[in-house]
Chain A
Amino acid sequence: MTDITDLTLAELRDALKAKKVSSLEATDAYLANIEKATDLNAFVTVTADKAREMAKASDAKLQKGDGGAIEGVPLGIKDLFCTEGVQTTAGSHILEGFVPTYESTVSANLWRDGAVMLGKLNMDEFAMGSSNETSYFGPVINPWRVKGGNAKLTPGGSSGGSSASVAAHLCAAATATDTGGSIRQPASLTATVGVKPTYGRCSRWGIVAFASSLDQAGPIARDVRDSAIMLRSMAGHDPKDSTSVDRPTPDYEAALGQSVKGLRIGVPKEYRLDGMPAEIEKLWADGIKWMKDAGCEIVDISLPLTKYALPVYYIVAPAEASSNLARYDGVRYGHRAKEFTDVQSMYANSRAEGFGKEVQRRIMIGTYVLSAGYYDAYYLRAQKVRKRIFDEFSDAFGKCDLILTPSAPSAAFALGEKSNDPVQMYLNDVFTVTANLAGLPGASVPAGLDAKGLPLGLQLIAKPFDEETMFKGMFALEQAANFKARPENWWA
């Protein structure tokens, strides 16, 4: 048999059920991959013992012909999900050493279905970043490199540990979260599939909050089928999250392969940016053609408010973050400064030491836009535009069933390339952030390589809670793109 870690999640699931492999074998194989891949810096914490224990328990069930939907499948968990008894850092010094006594609903759902935890994945600090460079634990390195080059590239962010570990086969699939593009942009930069479901589809309970009205969990996986399997296990109503929606979770895998004939694919002209690489422009055109060839109807649509999406996002998200991160004060848990003279200086010193620069920047922006005298001009106005962006999408979905766009405005870039220019960095989310603002499901599917040999993704956006149509479209796109490239293994 070939390397177990080369099996997709679906293949591994089936092999486990058929008892062709054991979960312990798969788990050990992944742990071996992880051990060899320390250069990628994808994991903050590897839970080898726990993984083997869980694998053994899964094997016992599988032996009896029992077990959940993904029994015995080894996964990586973004370090934003609280995991009981396992350090959860959110990529931040301020939470270094924090061990939750509780399990996030999404990860608990995965364990319920039999998954095995390999460890906690590196990420931008508090999910704030697009290159994984804001992590206190150092950047994650993209397994992909420029053809013939050896410069270290970003795997995207904030779910860079998730995208890199899936691309490098350090886990069968990974959880991730997406506030402005943190699942789809890293997926695009690593030739993985990233799905951000509709806001409310996955519970936010136990996920360290960045921007509550935008945060949504989803999977990063090797192909569309794997992502469908993952999402089905992750999703579901949770009474502990008031914004989680009480709807049945469909069998997304069942939607794969269904005909897309007659589906109307919207192509928004506003996503054609000045200075966008021609290769991305071309890939987008390819995507349109593929969908057309599959029997879809292509519809030109207009989303004129798109240009306001990033500015709105960079008001709403920091505003919520400034409040959400107030709890990290050094009083009850997390980092507390050693030097202070009173409670004010304890706060100031603990937070100055505990938070990195980007997090501090966003806390300051957020505090500013909520301040008396600025609230109306910034926050309130941004909320109004946000509502109109939602309305604009609703109108567009009167004319089409799915919207097709590029996932990111560039392929993977070098570490350090954009880290000194926050605005350049923020532009990474230009195609993805609209779906967060409107609460819509969006996904990135690998579609091709650029001239340098770096992967590029295409994004599909669907109507609220219509992930099934999205998966149908994703599968069609995947079939047509027939993307087979893999990064050369230089790290092991």
Chain B
Amino acid sequence: MSEPRKLLKGETGDWEVVIGLEVHAQVASKSKLFSGASAEYGAGPNENVSLVDAAMPGMLPVINKFCVEQAVKTGLGLNAKINCWSRFDRKNYFYPDLPQGYQISQYKDPIVGEGEVEVEVDGEEIRVGVERLHLEQDAGKSIHDLSPKESYVDLNRSGVALMEIVSRPDMRSADEAAAYFSKLRTILRYLGTCDGNMEEGSMRADVNVSVRRPGEPLGTRTETKNINSIRYVKQAVEYEARRQIEVLERGGKIDQETRLFNVATGETRTMRSKEDAHDYRYFPDPDLLPLELDPDWVESIKAGLPELPDAKKHRFMRDYGLSLYDAAVLSQDRAKADYFETVAGGRDGKLAANWVTTELFGALNKSGKEIAESPISAAQLGKLIDLIADDTISGRIAKDVFAIMFETGGDPERIVEERGLKQVTDTGAIEAAIDAIIAANPDQVAQVKEKPKTFGWFVGQVMKSTGGKANPQAVNEILKKKLGVE
């Protein structure tokens, strides 16, 4: 980690960018962290608000055990230490969408300690340390554009459970930061502890960026708040790194400050400086007892964990002989991985990976479909590969069959049957076709011995005359014999 990996060129030399992320992930849970109110997205304003969420006098928080379980699960998924003794603190500040006047969070004693995430960037693996994960309440939403004179408050989100996952400053490029954010999303979705739905605000990142000359101590960092897409994380880091390098190269200095990212321009701007920072007056919440976990309970959660993306990735490489790239792509999403494994079962893993990542993902991408909406089932794609393997169709024809399957659905065997796409393996028929072509093209035949490259032209002609159905291997062999080439 200490070796500078990726450097940015400035006017006056190289710079290293140092990035850390604080990711807020909404816990996938029906109800809120300390109240029974629904945590579902999309309800009408203030429909999902309990007396506790509205901070009515005398109301008390009661921890939602399921949210705790989700946090533990996530901690285990991040290979992190689970703290069987943790505590909730109050973070005090005034804001209209913070009804209690404090946010219940975990300050000194988080539920999850140090962990580590493997991240793939440009076909390489890097490791990003996780400093901690803690549980906290979300705030409500202030709406300022409904009235020229008043602000409105929607408390539906007030009290919704969030996990704040704090990384170590282990990332060195915008790509790494984006890949880490994306990997985190993959892990959370695998675990089912966060739906990863960024448009709905289920995952947001605060991006800490600083720059330094290689080998020098860490520079002053800025924190860009509330970024809700992988692409924007990348843009924000790129912009912020460039901005900081320019400031420093002009002889200026970086202010430790909080910044906002402008989605329209891809730029960041000052939100508040360090001097304006709140004094949050953290102290342990006296309404809640320390959170003590039974180690056996933690063990039972561990035993019930699904196979995680990294384990899956390594298994795909080992068992199916996939490249890191293919293995990473296929393990990114549980549905994709499951699809691939069904296709690859009992078949050539590499071939299966090729069909899934290139043909299928390509087609899905083009049509804007998710894997779950794929018109071709894994079993059907497997059958298609079988048809290639047993020489029923050629690889080329298979692509046409695939396109038909994707367009109209259906069983590949039937499509091949109905459309008469079966490969011609009858050597008599192929010979006849070749003879006809040789007879019709004496000049080409004369040339082929001096220019072996023109052999391909003959193959093409044969395929054309057989409607692509001729077995390519048979065509090759017979042609070679008849043309007398090696």
Binding site for B on A (CB under 8 A): 81-82, 88, 90, 95, 98, 100-102, 104, 204-209, 211-213, 239-243, 319-320, 322-323, 325-327, 329, 331-333, 343, 347, 367, 370-372, 375, 379
Nearest residue, chain B, Cβ from A238 = B60
List residues of chain A with CB within 8 A of the CB of B92: 322-323, 326, 370
B371 at the interface (CB under 8 A from A): no
Nearest residue, chain A, Cβ from B34 = A242
Docked Cα-Cα span, A480 to B60, in Å, equals 42
Docked Cα-Cα span, A208 to B58, in Å, equals 4
**A82-B279 CB under 8 A given contacts A102-B51, A212-B286, A343-B96:** no
Mind listing 27 A-B residue pairs with CB under 8 Å? Answer: A81-B58, A90-B57, A95-B57, A100-B58, A102-B56, A205-B58, A207-B58, A208-B57, A208-B58, A213-B286, A239-B62, A240-B62, A242-B62, A242-B288, A322-B281, A323-B101, A326-B100, A326-B101, A327-B99, A329-B96, A332-B54, A333-B56, A370-B281, A370-B283, A371-B279, A371-B281, A372-B281
List residues of chain A with CB within 8 A of the CB of B151: 343
CB distance B60 to A367 under 8 Å?
A: no
Docked Cα-Cα span, A333 to B281, in Å, equals 25
CB distance A209 to B94 under 8 Å?
A: no
B201 at the interface (CB under 8 A from A): no
Nearest residue, chain A, Cβ from B61 = A242
Chain A, interface SS category? loop
List residues of chain A with CB within 8 A of the CB of B62: 239-242
List residues of chain B with CB within 8 A of the CB of A205: 58-60
**A323-B102 CB under 8 A given contacts A329-B94, A331-B153, A370-B281:** yes
What size tier do the contact residues of chain B reach?
Answer: 20 to 34
List residues of chain A with CB within 8 A of the CB of B283: 319, 323, 370, 375, 379
Docked Cα-Cα span, A202 to B103, in Å, equals 26
List residues of chain B with CB within 8 A of the CB of A208: 57-58
List residues of chain A with CB within 8 A of the CB of B58: 81-82, 100, 104, 204-209
CB distance A212 to B281 under 8 Å?
A: no
List residues of chain A with CB within 8 A of the CB of B51: 101-102
Quote the shortest CB–CB distance from A91 to chain B (angstroms): 12
List residues of chain B with CB within 8 A of the CB of A204: 58, 60
B55 at the interface (CB under 8 A from A): yes
Which of A95, A104, A206, A319 has the most CB atoms of chain B within a 10 A radius of its CB?
A206
B364 at the interface (CB under 8 A from A): no
B125 at the interface (CB under 8 A from A): no
CB distance B57 to A88 under 8 Å?
A: yes
B90 at the interface (CB under 8 A from A): yes
Quote the shortest CB–CB distance from B349 to chain A (angstroms): 52
Nearest residue, chain A, Cβ from B49 = A332
List residues of chain B with CB within 8 A of the CB of A100: 56-58
Other contacts beyond A82-B56, A212-B286: 14, CB < 8 A: A90-B57, A204-B58, A207-B58, A211-B286, A213-B286, A322-B92, A323-B90, A323-B101, A329-B94, A329-B96, A343-B96, A370-B283, A371-B279, A379-B283
Docked Cα-Cα span, A379 to B58, in Å, equals 23
B478 at the interface (CB under 8 A from A): no
Which of A332, A333, A343 has the most CB atoms of chain B within a 10 A radius of its CB?
A332
List residues of chain A with CB within 8 A of the CB of B370: none
**A327-B101 CB under 8 A given contacts A213-B286, A343-B151:** yes
CB distance B57 to A98 under 8 Å?
A: yes
Docked Cα-Cα span, A100 to B57, in Å, equals 8
Which chain B residues in 82-98 approach chain A with CB under 8 Å? 90, 92, 94, 96
**Choice from A242, A243, A326, A367 contacting B102 with Cβ under 8 Å:** A326
Nearest residue, chain A, Cβ from B277 = A372
B289 at the interface (CB under 8 A from A): yes
Docked Cα-Cα span, A240 to B62, in Å, equals 6
Docked Cα-Cα span, A90 to B96, in Å, equals 23
Nearest residue, chain B, Cβ from A241 = B60
Which 9 A-B pairs have CB atoms at the shortest separation, nearest pair first? Answer: A326-B101, A370-B281, A212-B286, A213-B286, A327-B55, A206-B58, A208-B57, A372-B279, A82-B58
B287 at the interface (CB under 8 A from A): yes
Nearest residue, chain B, Cβ from A371 = B279
Nearest residue, chain A, Cβ from B92 = A323
List residues of chain A with CB within 8 A of the CB of B94: 326, 329, 347
List residues of chain B with CB within 8 A of the CB of A375: 281-283
List residues of chain B with CB within 8 A of the CB of A333: 56
